[in-house]
Structure 1
């Protein structure tokens, strides 16, 4: 009987702890990523340069590039600089914009990429996707999954709480995204990857049930692991399906119709809560509502600065953000009047769980 298996791309190393940045050089050597520190270190402006100084003693041959990240242009400019020398790896140190810029540039020239995350705002720290802006708006680009991922809790703790809260919203929204994928499988026969679902859901379940606060190392470690597992789940199935359903459609619609109101992760968290209500899963709805409320995230449109009418418009627009994706929003095809009625019912149900 033949042995059936598949190869799964995952990082060679994952470390979540305090003091990770200072130990970057030894990790690269131990994992045979770069024995001599011949790497390109990519940092953001301001604090990024200070972080790079912590690494410099163990990365004597490194070049440091400061980028104002988050755009296709900045990623292409970085790529042009990477061509001038033969690097063992690209090390992106910082938040989401810096890391996505480094991921895109490294993938463009087939250079291994290492993530050193100093914030936990989204699952991009380990995902095969780079979100970058361009002249026409914001796009998602396929990139290679990082070869190693480090999260330094010292910097996460000292960063803005809103970044960590955004990461919580992005991570727990995987529960709704997986439910949407299962719905698409049942309603339309869409293939589903059980391993990808297992990883995405396991990380989110651990987070939603964790009793700690965003100031606790244990909770921050669980959050980091949930975001990393979400990124790996996308790599396994080759799409964002296990981490992006109606929840992210709602977030993208808010960004399109009302840009700058709030963070992506917080929007995704609210989107997940509303989609869970639409699916009629009130036990999961209560879990999500209490988790979001406990950590200070939005549970109503008003918490994001949106009126009920604006949120109805968002829900109506949401399916257009991902025409190829089947979620509870496409399944129900609610009219504006029906959406407004369901939003009222949502508010009544929410009061039973968070007051």
Structure 2
């Protein structure tokens, strides 16, 4: 008898709204995650005191831990503290570094993890991976997907615009990641998961075509949902394929060759735009270029502080960052001279679409 359905691991609860942190205890009780608020709350050094002040009335039994920096050492130290007594769950409240540190520590000791995002810089708020620094650089580690994902728009609105802009770049780059995956399927017969592609692409398309700005609740909600869907897409297929293609390879190369250049979201947004141009998908290229430009993201290497030659070097090096991944970069295998020519053509295309 054929398999008629499959089980998909997703969060039990997803909420995107204002005031989520203040009502955290009620939400945990309603979802039967923790009836009495016997949880560990993990916050970062930035807005930690304000967060604790807001959620304390509904989480009277909670222990609060502060973590600094998204490192393996910080995650292991947090894990050692979490195992000193049993908790119903561990709640990570903050940005990407705090949430990734919490996800890793919770997974290490098998504790359910609730992700409460106060910024929307990347899809780590709901993904089954944690990006953490270690002595050799930065690594990506498999973790359990959060049992609940909550986004508090009050905190997102009051955070730096650059973090929200980075989230836009990360979310729309899924369009290129899915196109790269489809290419690998066509050329190398790599298995592809249609549900994962649908989830990742649907969220990105909604964001790409949303007319709002980062000051609008409607737009921020769509951005949060796109990032959450991207994270769930990776959980569905068991890899980062629907959210990481040539765009991420370019970003990893920039990090390796020119560390500190830009945020992850800014770099993958630019990488996705350039890869889309290399694919000769000019309709999608125009859509992406207008979206990135409208929200103040980089569309040219110079916007990130890179020279054209530095960008060519990064793109040429990019396939080395993920030898197991087949993207438009591996498919074309362009030389440095070819890349210089294509970059000039890319600049001409940008002038045509953006003026």
When normalised by structure 1's length, the TM-score is 0.99
Q: Distance in 2 between matches of 1:352 and 1:158?
A: 35
Q: Deviations over 1:186-237 (max 9, x none)?
A: 0000000000000000000000000000000000000000000000000000
Report the Cα offset of residue 181 of structure 1.
Answer: 0.1
Q: Distance in 2 between matches of 1:143 and 1:48?
A: 24
Q: Deviations over 1:101-129 (max 9, x none)?
A: 00000000000000000000000000000
**Within 2, Cα distance between the matches of 1:241 and 1:175?**
11
**Structure 1 CA distance, aligned partners of 2:62 and 2:256?**
39
Q: Identify unmatched segments of 5+ residues in structure 1.
A: none
Deviations 1:79-120 (A, max 9, x none): 000010100001000000000000000000000000000000
Matched with 2:37 is: 37
Q: How does 1:92-171 map to 2 (within 5 A)?
A: 92-171=92-171
Whole-Å separation in 1 of the counterparts to 2:159 and 2:56: 22
SS in structure 2 at match of 1:52: helix
1:7 equivalent to 2:7? Answer yes
Is 1:48 equivalent to 2:26 in the alignment?
A: no
Q: How far off is 1:53 after superposition? A: 1.5
Q: Partner residue of 1:66?
A: 66
Which blocks of at least 5 consecutive residues in structure 2 are unaligned?
none
Q: Take 2:131 and 2:257, find their aligned partners in 1: how far apart are those partners? A: 18
Q: Kindly report which structure 2 residues correspond to 1:8-27, keeping only aligned pairs within 5 A, or say none.
A: 8-27=8-27
Once residues 143 and 214 of structure 1 are traced to their aligned partners in structure 2, the CA distance between those partners, rounded to angstroms, is 30
For residues 48 and 354 of structure 2, the distance between their equivalents in structure 1, rounded to whole angstroms, comes to: 39
Aligned to 2:260: 260
| Cα distance in structure 1, aligned partners of 2:250 and 2:10 | 29
CA distance 1:312–1:3, shift in 2 (3 Å)? closer
Where do 1:179-258 residues align within 5 Å? 179-258=179-258
Q: 1:305 aligns to what?
A: 305
Please give the alpha-carbon distance, in whole angstroms, between the structure 1 residues aligned to 2:28 and 2:8. 21
Q: What's the TM-score, normalizing by structure 2? A: 0.99
Runs of 4+, deviation exceeding 4 Å = none
Which residue pairs with 1:269 in the alignment?
269
CA distance in 1, matches of 2:3, 2:140: 36
Distance between the aligned counterparts of 1:283 and 1:253, measured in 2?
Answer: 27
Give me the whole-angstrom Cα distance separating, in 2, the residues matched to 1:52 and 1:177: 37
Matches within 5 A, 1:324-339: 324-339=324-339
In 1, Cα distance between the equivalents of 2:51 and 2:19? 11
Q: Determine if contact 1:69/1:75 at 8 Å carries over to the other structure.
A: no
1:290 aligns with 2:290: yes
Deviation readout 1:132-168 (Å, 9 max, x if unpaired): 0000000000000000000000000000000000000
What is the alpha-carbon distance in structure 2 between the residues aligned to residue 70 and residue 196 of structure 1?
27
Report the Cα distance in structure 2 between the residues aligned to 1:30 and 1:282, rounded to whole angstroms.
48
Q: Distance in 1 between matches of 2:122 and 2:2?
A: 40
> How far has the Cα of 1:52 moved from its partner?
1.4
Partner Cα distance (1:245, 1:298) in 2: 18
CA shift, 1:250, in A, is 0.4
2:317 maps to which residue?
317
Following the alignment from structure 2 to structure 1, what is the Cα–Cα distance between the partners of residues 105 and 294?
A: 38
1:3 Cα offset (Å): 5.7
* C-alpha contact 1:49 1:66 (8 A) present in aligned 2: no
Q: Aligned-pair RMSD on alpha carbons?
A: 0.7
Q: Give, in angstroms, the shift of residue 46 of structure 1.
A: 3.3
d(CA) in 2 for partners of 1:258, 1:277:
23
Report the secondary structure of 2:348's partner residue: helix
Tell me how far 1:2 sits from its aligned partner. 5.2
